[in-house]
Structure 1
Amino acid sequence: MFDGRVVPWHNWCPCKDLNMHIFFNMLAIVFAIVALITLLSYAIYWYESANLSPQLLEQRFAPRRLLLALRLLVSETLLLFVSVVLHPLGWIWPKEKPTVDGGKPPIILLHGLFHNRSCWWWLKWRLKRAGYRTIYSLHLSAWHDIEVLTELIAKKVDRLRLQAGVEQVILIGHSMGGILARNYIQRRGGAARVAHCIQLGTPNGGSKLAPFAVSPLARNLLPGSTFLAELNASKLPSDIPLTSIYSRHDNIVIPAASARLNGSREIELQGMGHMGLLYKKSAVAAVLKALEDSTA
């Protein structure tokens, strides 16, 4: 029975609960899509791996194999989901001001296709904890030509060298970002401006998943593409340390051997997918070790 008391509007309005319900439903949908993408990518990974090594078919139901498959699926789904949820933060990333870091070259982070600066949050935090203070990241649109993006990197490097008063920078590229770093060093005259280049899961030989990407940039990542043929035919500068860190269980760079790069220092990891290279402890440790070796 109505007792005559006035109830504040915000106490009975269902809008708040409705908005929360919609929000969590949207998160559930995003998670389902991410899980499906991860499952399909690993299905293709398994198909290619089994064709390359038929003996794998005899071990596919071994308990340790099933446990590894489950761990990879769960881990990669969660990490990709986190990256997708944080993606909008990359659009409002605060402006990074140049600083001088005790003689250490500044680090420029180059993300992969369809990602943005937000994917670097964990590695950037770990780098700062390790004593690296001058860290920058670029937004690389998936809808621009590869040479346009390389020019963007070249301008950023030159501007940073001028503002921070240094001669060289360090480039760390994940996936497509590693290809852009190589293009800058090998074909656009950037070798003298780079102290070290570190690749994380970079498809140096292309990826068989590239045809599924809707971006025109993906054409450059097709195995045997004209761009990759020209890039791989150009000589790696002998005076620049180049480290290629990759996982044998990468679900995006298929086959995983495509991440190898002759003439570089190759570090093969396992037990992680494509996004795991940005977050997993062993991958971060490999990056820090490579930086330590180059700046020692």
Structure 2
Amino acid sequence: MLIFILSLIAFIVVVLSALRYGAFILSNGIAGQLSEIREGVGQMDRAVGKGLLKAVAADCIVLPMSLLALLPDREEYVPGTPILMVHGLYHNKSAWTVFRHRLKQAGFSNLHTYQYNSFTKDFDAALVGMEAKLDQLLAQSSEGKVILIGHSLGGLVSRCVAGKAAYRDRVTALITLGSPHKGSDLAWLGGNRMARSLIPGRYIAQTVEGTPDPNCPRLGIYTLTDDYVFPLDMLRTGRAGWQERICSSMSHVWMLFSEEVAEMTIEFIRASETSESE
């Protein structure tokens, strides 16, 4: 029975991943952006195949790892600028387990996560909770500043709060990973209010567009084969002052487990802290 259940789960994961990449091709095709993706990835079929495999792998990791969110927080306030990591839609603080380990290996120890409810709450509730978390961290920070890293929707939560007058000058660096800065066509299939608010042109995209950027270095990292955020232009801020870096072909969720993405993030944080001290 256990083998049957696991096999069924694996089958569902593969089918859903394949359907997302089908939607990815359709959406980018309609938007006329498949040629740009082909130019960026080389062999399209190979890149999408690689993304599909990583999508399946990521889902198989995420499902059991989500149980870690039940464990009590063990955050420590130590010297150094606090780094606050914000997860995406339908995820929780366990999303950062591997990424957090990579940051620790790189010498960062003042690490924190913000967990919000994206199942039954709306975007504004996520922003209010984020403000409370930031106030708490800033009160403990000897530098009076914080570094923000957001994956997917977490990048938009970070952007909107960091852009408020109370925080605009209190952020050392802002990094978004695969964030739907202008929404995503996949949100048309969203099962709740938060997800449907990510439809291009709706509430979350409008809120992000109407929020000024914080006064700090800003980086958006994304992959050309993102299976949750499409068409391609949705992954770009479209604003001056942002740096953008494209990582290798991978799935949306795999960015959380990618050594390459972690290295890009670490490099940017170090460069931002250096410029801050000059």
What TM-score results when the alignment is normalised by the length of structure 1? 0.83
Q: Which amino acid is the alignment partner of residue 87 of structure 1?
A: S
* C-alpha distance in structure 2 between counterparts of 1:188 and 1:223, whole Å: 26
* C-alpha distance in structure 2 between counterparts of 1:160 and 1:228, whole Å: 27
Distance 1:185 1:127, change over 3 A: same
Question: What is aligned with 1:181?
Answer: 158
Question: What is aligned with 1:225?
Answer: 202
Q: Give aligned pairs, total.
A: 266
Q: CA deviation at 1:55?
A: 7.6
Query: Which of these two proteins has the greater Rg computed from alpha carbons?
Result: 1
* C-alpha distance in structure 2 between counterparts of 1:216 and 1:289, whole Å: 36
* C-alpha distance in structure 2 between counterparts of 1:210 and 1:245, whole Å: 20
2:7 paired residue among 28, 32, 55: 28
Does residue 244 of the first structure (1) align with residue 220 of the second (2)?
yes
Question: What is aligned with 2:268?
Answer: 290
Question: What is aligned with 1:194?
Answer: 171
Question: What is aligned with 1:160?
Answer: 137
Structure-to-structure mapping, 1:61-80, within 5 angstroms: 64-80=43-59
Q: Is the 8 A contact 2:123 2:204 kept in 1?
A: no
Q: Is the 8 A contact 1:186 1:231 kept in 2?
A: no
**Cα deviation 1:223-277 (Å, max 9, x = unaligned):** 011442242133323x211111111110100112211111311112231110121
Q: SS state of the match for residue 256, structure 2?
A: helix
Distance 1:78 1:67, change over 3 A: same
* C-alpha distance in structure 2 between counterparts of 1:25 and 1:207, whole Å: 34
Q: Is the 8 A contact 2:13 2:56 kept in 1?
A: yes
Distance 1:165 1:36, change over 3 A: same
Q: Is the 8 A contact 2:62 2:95 kept in 1?
A: yes
Q: Which amino acid is the alignment partner of residue 70 of structure 1?
A: G
**Structure 1 runs not aligned, ≥5 long:** 1-20
Q: Is the 8 A contact 2:83 2:148 kept in 1?
A: yes
* Deviates most, 107-116 or 66-75: 66-75
Q: Percent identity?
A: 25
Q: Which amino acid is the alignment partner of residue 137 of structure 2?
A: L
Question: What is aligned with 1:6?
Answer: none
Q: CA deviation at 1:81?
A: 1.5
Q: Is the 8 A contact 1:248 1:257 kept in 2?
A: no
Q: CA deviation at 1:213?
A: 1.8
Q: Is the 8 A contact 1:246 1:267 kept in 2?
A: yes
**Structure 2 runs not aligned, ≥5 long:** none
* C-alpha distance in structure 1 between counterparts of 2:33 and 2:243, whole Å: 29
Structure-to-structure mapping, 1:53-132, within 5 angstroms: 53=32, 64-92=43-71, 94-101=72-79, 104-132=80-108
**Cα deviation 1:15-52 (Å, max 9, x = unaligned):** xxxxxx42x43332222222111111000111122333
Q: Is the 8 A contact 1:178 1:200 kept in 2?
A: yes
Q: Runs of at least 4 residues of structure 1 off by over 6 A?
A: none
Q: CA deviation at 1:188?
A: 6.4
**Cα deviation 1:149-187 (Å, max 9, x = unaligned):** 111111111112223444011110000001101110224
* C-alpha distance in structure 2 between counterparts of 1:233 and 1:68, whole Å: 35
**Cα deviation 1:69-108 (Å, max 9, x = unaligned):** 322211211112211121122122x32233223xx31111
Q: Is the 8 A contact 1:157 1:193 kept in 2?
A: no
Q: SS state of the match for residue 244, structure 1?
A: strand
* C-alpha distance in structure 2 between counterparts of 1:256 and 1:231, whole Å: 18
Q: Which amino acid is the alignment partner of residue 49 of structure 1?
A: N
* Deviates most, 44-53 or 80-89: 44-53
Please report the RMSD computed on the Cα atoms of aligned residues, expressed in angstroms: 2.1
Q: CA deviation at 1:193?
A: 2.6
Q: CA deviation at 1:201?
A: 0.4
Q: Which amino acid is the alignment partner of residue 125 of structure 1?
A: H
* C-alpha distance in structure 2 between counterparts of 1:151 and 1:78, whole Å: 33
1:267 paired residue among 230, 245, 253: 245
* C-alpha distance in structure 2 between counterparts of 1:97 and 1:199, whole Å: 22
* C-alpha distance in structure 2 between counterparts of 1:154 and 1:54, whole Å: 36
